[in-house]
Amino acid sequence: MTYDCEVAVVGAGMFGAAAGKHLSRAGADVVIIGPAEPRAGDPVSQHSFGAHFDEARITRRLGWDPVWEMTDARSQERYRDIENESGISFFHECGSLVLMANSIAHRTNAILDQCAAAGIAVDQLSEEDLRGQFPDLGLPPMEGGVMGLLEREQAGYLNPRRLVSAQLTLATAAGARLVRGTATGVERVPGGWLLRTDGAGCPPRIRAERVLVATGAFTNVNNVLPVSHQLDLRAFTEPNLLFEVHPEQLDRLRMLPSVVTVDPADTGDANTSLYLLPPIRYPDGKWYMRCGPGMQPLVEELRTVEEMVSWYSNQKITARQMAFLTTMTHLMVPNLKPVSVREACCIIEKTPSRYPYIGHVDEDFAVVVGGNGHGARGSDEIGRLASTIVLGEPWDCPIPHDVFAPLTASPAVDERGERPDFLKPPFGLC
Ligand SMILES: Cc1cc2nc3c(=O)[nH]c(=O)nc-3n(C[C@H](O)[C@H](O)[C@H](O)COP(=O)(O)OP(=O)(O)OC[C@H]3O[C@@H](n4cnc5c(N)ncnc54)[C@H](O)[C@@H]3O)c2cc1C
* φ, ψ dihedrals at 114, nearest 5°: -65, -40
User: What confidence tens digit (pLDDT) does each residue in 301-334 have?
Assistant: 899 999 999 999 999 999 999 999 999 999 999 9
pLDDT of residue 430: 52
Closest approach atom of ligand 1 to CA 181:
43
The answer to whether position 308 is within a domain reads yes
* pLDDT above 80: residue 288: yes
* pLDDT above 60: residue 147: yes
pLDDT of residue 140: 86
Instruction: Give the single-character DSSP code of 176.
Output: P
Q: Which domain, by its residues, includes 248?
A: 107-155+234-346
Average pLDDT, integer, range 6-13: 98
User: What confidence tens digit (pLDDT) does each residue in 358-381 have?
Assistant: 999 999 999 999 999 999 999 999
In short, whether 293's Cβ falls inside 6 Å of ligand 1 is no
Distance 243 CA to ligand 1 centre (A): 23
The DSSP result for 228-274, as a single string, is T--BS-EEEEEEEEEEEPPHHHHHHHTT--EEEEE-SS--STT---E
pLDDT of residue 118: 87
Burial 275-310 (b: 16+ CB within 10 A, else e): bbbbbbebeeebbbbbbbbbbbebbbebeeeeebbe
Closest approach atom of ligand 1 to CA 157:
8
In short, whether 156's Cβ falls inside 6 Å of ligand 1 is no
User: What confidence tens digit (pLDDT) does each residue in 168-206 have?
Assistant: 999 999 999 999 999 999 999 999 999 999 988 788 899
Mean pLDDT is lowest, of 15-19, 40-44, 77-81, 300-304, for: 40-44
Tell me the pLDDT band of 414, cut-offs 50, 70 and 90.
low
pLDDT of residue 130: 97
* Percent of the chain residues topping a pLDDT of 90: 76
Summary mean pLDDT of the chain:
91
> Which domain CATH number covers 135?
3.30.9.10
The answer to whether position 203 is within a domain reads no
Distance 15 CA to ligand 1 centre (A): 8
Q: Which residues contact 94 (CB under 8 A, 6 or more apart)?
A: 156, 157, 256, 257, 258, 278
Tell me the pLDDT band of 425, cut-offs 50, 70 and 90.
very low
* pLDDT above 80: residue 424: no
| Alpha carbon distance 83, 166 (integer Å) | 7
In short, whether 406's Cβ falls inside 6 Å of ligand 1 is no
* pLDDT above 90: residue 110: no
In short, whether 428's Cβ falls inside 6 Å of ligand 1 is no
Q: Which residues contact 22 (CB under 8 A, 6 or more apart)?
A: 383, 384, 386, 387, 388
| Alpha carbon distance 192, 246 (integer Å) | 56
The answer to whether position 51 is within a domain reads no
214, 19 contact by CB (below 8 A): yes
User: What confidence tens digit (pLDDT) does each residue in 240-285 have?
Assistant: 999 999 999 999 999 999 999 887 665 444 567 889 999 999 999 9
In short, whether 58's Cβ falls inside 6 Å of ligand 1 is yes
pLDDT of residue 266: 53
The answer to whether position 255 is within a domain reads yes
The answer to whether position 26 is within a domain reads no
Instruction: Give the single-character DSSP code of 424.
Output: P
| Alpha carbon distance 363, 342 (integer Å) | 46
* pLDDT above 60: residue 354: yes
The answer to whether position 325 is within a domain reads yes
Mutate to test the pocket of ligand 1, among 69, 215, 222 (most ligand atoms within 8 A of CB): 215
Protein residue with its CA nearest to atom 23 in ligand 1: 14
* pLDDT above 60: residue 421: no
Q: Which residues contact 426 (CB under 8 A, 6 or more apart)?
A: 107, 266
In short, whether 34's Cβ falls inside 6 Å of ligand 1 is yes
pLDDT of residue 186: 97
User: What confidence tens digit (pLDDT) does each residue in 30-47 have?
Assistant: 999 999 998 887 888 888
In short, whether 383's Cβ falls inside 6 Å of ligand 1 is no
Distance 17 CA to ligand 1 centre (A): 11
| Alpha carbon distance 326, 111 (integer Å) | 29
Domains held by the chain: number: 1
**Residue that wins the pLDDT comparison between 375 and 142:** 375
**Residue that wins the pLDDT comparison between 123 and 409:** 123
The answer to whether position 194 is within a domain reads no
In short, whether 370's Cβ falls inside 6 Å of ligand 1 is no
* φ, ψ dihedrals at 171, nearest 5°: -65, -45
* pLDDT above 80: residue 426: no
Residue 237's nearest CA partner among 288, 307, 175, 284 is: 307
The answer to whether position 161 is within a domain reads no
